């Protein structure tokens, strides 16, 4: 499958490989070292994103493989209007949502219109837990709770939160990756963050009671 562009001997240029960001011209010229570096750099974030969206290790692995296979196949036609990283996230998000739909046909699509005129749900949990000590906020149990709270978000909110707040994409990059408007990114991000804040507040309020007892 990949033979047509395997034009550099394995291992020959590893020491000279470019650091991030990847060189699009090298990638498009079939530089295997550059592509291997791209895979090495982004396989972690792509796998993490896929796993958090689809929730199953096997599906996440399939998404990971398909992402890089599709990236490789389409490199020649990639115009570079977004960064290579954003482009990879776009492919991965699409693949992950396809996997999610296969497993859960009722699941929504990434571009589903969820913005409603009713505005955001009002915060319910009004407890100031910011004063908890760092070791409490960042305990292994708390970290587990933080991680699980993401899973309760609807997929269309979760993917925006993951790209923006976990992977560190800008609002614009997130919009490019998901092919939605920046306004939609902002709305979904707000909704995701507010929902997470509710869950964390519920959890940390209990910790606060213990702390103050």
Partner 1 sequence: MTHTHEHSECRKLLASLSEYVDGALDESICDVIEQHMGECERCEIVVDTLRKTVELYRATVPAPPVPEDVRARLFLRLELTDFMKAMESD
For the chain, the first-to-last Cα distance in angstroms comes to: 64
CB contact at 8 A, 21 and 84: yes
Least distance (Å) between residue 101 CB and partner 1 = 22
Where does this chain touch partner 1 (CB under 8 A) — which range of 18-26, 87-95, 100-108, 114-122? 114-122
**What binding mask, one character per residue, do residues 42-61 give for partner 1 by CB under 8 A, x or -?**
-xxx-xx--------x---x
Contacts with partner 1 by CB under 8 A: the residue count is 55
CB of 106 to partner 1, least distance (A): 27
Using the rule CB under 8 A, is 154 a contact of partner 1?
no
Rounded to 10 degrees, what is the CA torsion of 88, 94, 162, 107? -170
Residues counted in the chain:
213
The residues near 50 (Cβ < 8 Å, ≥ 6 apart) are 59, 60, 63, 64, 67, 92, 95, 96, 99
90 near 179, Cβ under 8 Å?
yes
In whole angstroms, the minimum distance from the beta carbon of 132 to partner 1 comes to: 9
Give the pair of three-digit tokens for residue 41: 């750099």
Q: Considering only CA atoms, which of 211, 206, 213, 209 is closest in space to residue 134?
A: 211
Lookup: tokens for 207: 């910790």
Contact 177, 89 (CB under 8 A): yes
**Applying CB under 8 A, does 91 fall inside the site for partner 1?**
no
Q: How far apart are CB 138 and partner 1 at their closest, in Å?
A: 6
Q: Quick one: which of 55, 82, 200, 202 contacts partner 1 (CB under 8 A)?
A: 200
Give 106 or 153: the residue with its C-beta nearer to partner 1: 153
Footprint (CB under 8 A) of partner 1, residues 58-87 = 61, 64-65, 68-69, 72
108 vs 146 by CB, closer to partner 1:
146
The count of C-alpha atoms lying within 13 angstroms of the C-alpha of 123, restricted to the half-sphere facing its C-beta, is 15
Asked if residue 28 lies in contact with residue 2, where contact means CB atoms within 8 angstroms, the answer is no
- Choose, by CB under 8 A, the member of 103, 143, 179, 209 that binds partner 1: 143
Q: Which stretches of the chain bind partner 1, using CB under 8 A? A: 1-3, 6, 10-11, 14-15, 32-33, 35-37, 39-40, 43-45, 47-48, 57, 61, 64-65, 68-69, 72, 119-120, 122-123, 125-130, 137-138, 143, 146-147, 165-166, 168, 171, 186, 189-190, 193-194, 196-197, 200-201
């Amino acid at each position: 499958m990949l033979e047509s562009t395997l034009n550099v001997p394995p291992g020959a240029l590893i020491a000279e490989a470019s650091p991030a960001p990847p060189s699009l011209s090298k990638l498009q010229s079939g530089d295997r070292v550059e592509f291997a570096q791209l895979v090495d750099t982004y396989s972690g974030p792509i796998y993490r994103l896929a796993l958090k969206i689809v929730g199953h290790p096997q599906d996440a692995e399939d998404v990971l493989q398909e992402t890089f296979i599709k990236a490789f196949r389409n490199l020649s036609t990639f115009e570079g209007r977004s960064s290579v990283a954003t482009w990879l996230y776009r492919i991965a998000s699409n693949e992950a949502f396809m996997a999610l739909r296969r497993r859960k046909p009722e699941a929504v699509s990434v571009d589903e219109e969820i913005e409603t005129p009713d505005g955001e749900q009002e915060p319910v949990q009004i407890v100031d837990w910011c004063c908890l000590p760092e070791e409490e906020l960042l305990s292994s149990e708390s970290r587990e709770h933080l991680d699980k709270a993401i899973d309760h978000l609807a997929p269309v909110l979760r993917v925006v939160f993951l790209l923006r707040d976990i992977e560190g994409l800008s609002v614009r990059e997130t919009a490019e990756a998901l092919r939605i408007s920046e306004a939609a990114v902002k709305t979904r991000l707000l909704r995701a963050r507010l929902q997470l804040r509710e869950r964390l507040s519920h959890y940390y309020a209990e910790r606060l009671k213990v702390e103050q007892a």
